[in-house]
Amino acid sequence: MFVDAHAHLYDGDVKLIIENAKNNLVQKIICASSDIETMQKAVAISNENEGVFATIGIHPQDAEQFSAEIEIFMKKLAKNPKVVAIGEIGLDYHYDGPAHDLQKKVFRAQLKIAYELKKPIQIHIRDAMSDALNILSENKKLLKYGGVVHCFNGSKEDAEKIIGLGLDFTIGGVCTFKNAKSLQETLKFLPLEKIMLETDSPYLAPEPVRGTKNESKNIPYIAQKIADLKGIDIQEVARQTTKNVERVFKI
Ligand code: NI
């Protein structure tokens, strides 16, 4: 059995996507959210579908949406037992989005919410590794309930720092790309006990279906790549990554 630890399910025929996933042994899916609208959708989809769970959070590119009212709203939503984490939260300097200072403020505020709610976090970091690692290190106390760095694509040194903070990694389709040599090297070094699988669907479909609309059913391609890189069996990747999800997200 596999788990897709980070997917965006709110587009397309959700029932069919979930059915396709289950037919490919992907039995559980964590549906991530990024703004007010997707938080509500993720929670609704998790309520309606067995094996689907939700995260709630304001993505750094939507940092302007965050407010005291949203904090209250998130805390209300989090009472639903299907809400398993706070995310996606973090820093994204890739696009001309919200000011970096605002992103940092909203990231810190949501780390505090996760701590208060006793929930793990799901972190998005793009072109902002050093600022993100600084915020995480300065707020280590708030990381008590663990969490993951999603779509991790950093160096071995970054990985070591993240492990030192007690966090784990979710690894997606990028690791199957031919030009992802440095991530592949990092993956050889990362302990399997720290890795979970994700699609980040509908984005980032893995090889050999790269360029198509990604779905949770593609998780086995990512698992196979990790198995190949580590010279182990795909069954072992399935077993250990599922165990890791259970440890962090309590599902
Ligand atoms: Ni995502």
Looking at the chain, how many residues does it have? 251
| Cα 225 to averaged position of ligand 1 atoms, centre (Å) | 20
pTM of the model: 0.97
The domains of the chain, with CATH numbers, are 2-249 (3.20.20.140)
pLDDT at site 216: 98
Residue 55 Cα to ligand 1 middle (Å) = 11
Number of other CB atoms surrounding residue 38 within 10 Å = 24
| The pair of three-digit structure tokens given for residue 207, joined into one six-digit string | 């090889």
DSSP string, 127-185: S-HHHHHHHHHHTGGGGTT-EEEET----HHHHHHHHHTT-EEEE-GGGGSTT-HHHHH
Cα of 32 vs centre of ligand 1, distance in Å, is: 6
Ligand 1 centroid distance, CA of 161 (Å): 22
Rounded to the nearest whole angstrom, what is the distance from the C-alpha of residue 152 to the centroid of ligand 1? 11
Q: Provide the pLDDT for residue 153.
A: 86
Angle ∠(225,23,88) on CA atoms, nearest 5: 60
3-class SS of residue 16: helix
Strand order, beta sheet including 52-56: 2-7, 26-31, 52-56, 83-92, 121-126, 147-150, 168-171, 195-197
* Average pLDDT for runs of 10 along the chain of length 251: 97 95 98 97 98 98 98 98 98 95 98 98 97 98 98 92 98 96 95 98 96 97 98 98 98 97
Question: Cβ distance 201 to 240 under 8 Å?
Answer: no
CA of 37 from ligand 1 middle (Å) equals 14
State in Å: Cα 100 to ligand 1 middle.
20
- 7 C-alpha to center of ligand 1: Å? 6
DSSP lists the bridge partners of residue 7 as: 31
